[in-house]
Amino acid sequence: MQSFRTEIENPVVEKDILELEKKIRLFHEGKVDEEKFRSLRLARGVYGQRQQGVQMIRIKLPYGKVTSQQLKRICDVSDEYSTGRLHITTRQDIQIHYVDLNRTPELWAQLEKDDVTLREACGNTVRNVTASETAGIDVDEPFDVSPYAHGLFQYFLRNPISQEMGRKFKVSFSASDADTGLSYMHDLGFIAKIENGVKGFKVMLGGGLGSQPRHADVLFEFLESDKIIPLMDGVIRVFDRYGERKSRAKARMKFLIKDIGLDGFKDLLAEEQKAVPYQTYAIDAEAYPKTNVASVEVPNVEIEDKTAFEAWKSTNIIPQKQEGFVAIGIKVLLGDWYTDKARLLADLVSGYAAGEIRLSLRQNILIPHVKEELVPFFYQELSKLGFAEAGYNRALDITACPGTDTCNLGIASSTGIAEELERVIKAEYPQYISNEDVVIKISGCMNACGQHNMAHIGFQGMSVRTKDKLVAPALQVLLGGGNDGNGNGRFADKVVKIPSKRGPQALRLILDDYDANGKGQSYADYYQEKGQMYFYDFLKPLSDVSDLTAEDFIDWGNTERYEKAIGVGECAGVVIDLIATLLFESEEKIQNAQEALEAQKWSASIYYSYTSMVNSAKALLTAEKAKVNTHAGIIKDFDEKFVASGRIELGGGFQDLALQLNKNEPTEAFANSYLKDSQRFLKAVEAYRKQELAEA
């Protein structure tokens, strides 16, 4: 594990990886609490999986862009540390599984050689910044959002304001009003706009999926591009201070907005403006790497099956705004592909396109910048790799999370039923192979990683109990979701719960009724016209569990009888804090504040000092078994329990001390004085704790 230390050129990255190595060692030595260690490793892309003793590694790929060299590096890492399988997520990441925890630091170091990171791919952080996979080539886009997505990713990576929030925070960029970045279901969503010649974005706030989906509010109809980073800086500060931390089920941005309202959130946002280090933050789009398309002679290709070729072209070729070029979509079943094929694909796009691919929100691959005359050649080469199946972004192209294959939270199989539904469509409904109006998505549980509740036809993994108390795998059927564009979307209705093995029959009934009664309407309009109870009536017979057979107790893709087994979910980085660990972390945060001060990063230093103070206050409140649900609550309760009562003397209120943060601009002088305040506060807390233990 020592070899990577001399190979990492970036000292910040090196420190990060060495810190992970150190914490792994302390964890094995029993010096770091297991739950606290979980929080640390999640923020570094290391995620527990259903199988004991191994980890899932999430590789963070901003807006899904991957160069040929990066793809080869990921393949090398997957072969060396994992199983050679690459899984594309619905957030444009790549996941690899079955990794030994002790090898994760060296794995990370290998990825960083080609500027690929694990940092903040999981945990209570700003997650991967997603975007329309067609960004930069979209015929309808007012401008390329890629530089803005990249600039935002860089600004918040390792930013102290977004390291230990109550829950994860998700951001998307949409290239056009089609809103293919799905802004309405994100904590912050940006839709590209131009007004009076100025580039900017429509801004959506507070959307989300999960068991209680919420449609995002419009925060700004138009916000200039140089204000999006300052805006998000303020939004994160509000979420960090007022967002729920104890109850995982209520800890997302959408619940904060629901509780205080959009106007209440705007008021809190205004209070943070002094603390935000930049009022404008221009992103230099011209500095974004230019596309370099390979110059090659057109190979002579003879297509044998012209019918198949034309069918593939009709669904998998995407027009580009650049004249003479198209993009090619690759349908990836369940988002799973393998390193042998991935390396050959990397060589193909490097030699004949622009040396990059884009991963899509529907778990697919897009190859941009293909010369039109090279399309037959690409079809031939992709066919050799098994990557030339028709149906890209069509009804046949079903999205599914890993479900019970590897996820701790999985209740029922999502991959198994997805494969079966694709088989049914191919065999019985071939007209849907090219249908782009019907979107089918599947999740293994209510957390909606497969985005089932924004699909036209969605399935959610569940379980069902018979009168004899026997438990069988089940599916919740959801209908009527969809993306209407420009920040507007519909969430699907829960229609009926059925045993999993009846999923294909449910799909048949739904498609048969649509074919018979759709009358040429879009599926979304057809559902809207008919209504929820219409579908419940003809699907209800499938919900009867009085006549289940032995087959019904075996989930898709399995051979053994179903057992409901849900592990500890790590999507939120659940943490059980020990008082000593909290105080130790406060010392670390002060050290971070000092280092940031020396690096002349005033805003970062100030925020580290702030989190140290709140962390120290949380330690004493935890010892009192008081609620520590929000930063704002911690500050208020500490004043009441310790300062007002005279148990700790601060020479004033804790709120006045801590919230100097948003009453002062982030200058060098304030960063210095605030650091000294946090140091004095920690000493006061440690002295009180020491006396308390002595008297116990």
Q: How many CB atoms lie within 10 A of CB 194?
A: 12
Domain ranges of the chain: 3-112, 130-287, 306-384, 399-553, 579-695
Q: At what angle do helices 532-539 and 523-530 cross, to 10 degrees?
A: 90
With vertex at residue 169, the alpha carbon angle to CA 50 and CA 37, rounded to the nearest 5 degrees, is: 45
Q: How far apart are CA 438 and CA 330, in angstroms?
A: 18
**What separation in angstroms does the CA of 20 have from each of 12, 104, 107, 180?**
13, 8, 12, 36
pLDDT number for residue 33: 73
CATH number among 2.40.100.10, 3.40.50.450, 3.10.129.10, 3.30.413.10, domain 399-553: 3.30.413.10
Give 485's strand partners.
488
DSSP secondary structure letters along 35-48: HHHHHHHHTTTEEE
Nearest to 293 by CA among 389, 233, 370: 370
Give 272's strand partners.
none
Q: At what angle do helices 631-638 and 602-623 cross, to 10 degrees?
A: 60
Q: How far apart are CA 386 and CA 115, in angstroms?
A: 29
Q: How far apart are CA 78 and CA 686, in angstroms?
A: 45
Q: How far apart are CA 390 and CA 380, in angstroms?
A: 13
Contact assessment for residue 180 and residue 257, using Cβ atoms and an 8 Å cutoff: no
Q: How far apart are CA 462 and CA 410, in angstroms?
A: 9
Give 57's strand partners.
46, 96
**What separation in angstroms does the CA of 136 have from each of 67, 368, 558, 613, 658?**
15, 9, 42, 44, 44
Contact assessment for residue 579 and residue 689, using Cβ atoms and an 8 Å cutoff: yes
Q: How far apart are CA 172 and CA 581, in angstroms?
A: 35
Please, is 470 exposed, middle or buried when counting C-beta atoms within 10 Å of its C-beta (0-12, 13-18, 19+)? middle
Question: Token pair of 23, please?
Answer: 């914490």
pLDDT number for residue 7: 62
The torsion angles phi and psi of 6, rounded to 5 degrees, stand at -95, 0
Amino acid, res. 657: L
The contacts of residue 306 (CB under 8 Å, 6+ apart) are none
Length of the chain: 696
Q: How far apart are CA 459 and CA 444, in angstroms?
A: 8
pLDDT number for residue 2: 44
Q: How many CB atoms lie within 10 A of CB 152?
A: 25
Q: What H or E segment, with its residue span, contains residue 483?
A: strand 482-485
Q: At what angle do helices 146-156 and 228-242 cross, to 10 degrees?
A: 40
Domains 130-287 and 399-553 equal at CATH topology level:
yes
Fold classified for 306-384? Alpha-Beta Plaits (3.30.70)
User: Is CATH 1.10.3720.10 the classification given to domain 579-695?
Assistant: no
Second-level CATH architecture of 3-112: Alpha-Beta Complex (3.90)
The torsion angles phi and psi of 97, rounded to 5 degrees, stand at -125, 170
Nearest to 400 by CA among 444, 446, 435, 438: 444
Kindly report the CATH class assigned to 130-287.
alpha beta
Per-10-residue mean pLDDT, the chain, length 696:
56 87 87 75 82 89 98 97 96 96 93 94 94 98 98 96 93 98 97 98 96 95 98 98 88 95 97 96 96 93 94 97 98 95 98 98 97 98 97 92 74 88 95 92 89 94 86 92 96 95 96 94 94 96 92 86 59 48 88 95 97 95 90 96 94 96 96 97 94 80
Contact assessment for residue 571 and residue 168, using Cβ atoms and an 8 Å cutoff: yes
Tell me how far apart the 2 most distant CA atoms of the chain are, in Å: 88
Contact assessment for residue 365 and residue 357, using Cβ atoms and an 8 Å cutoff: yes
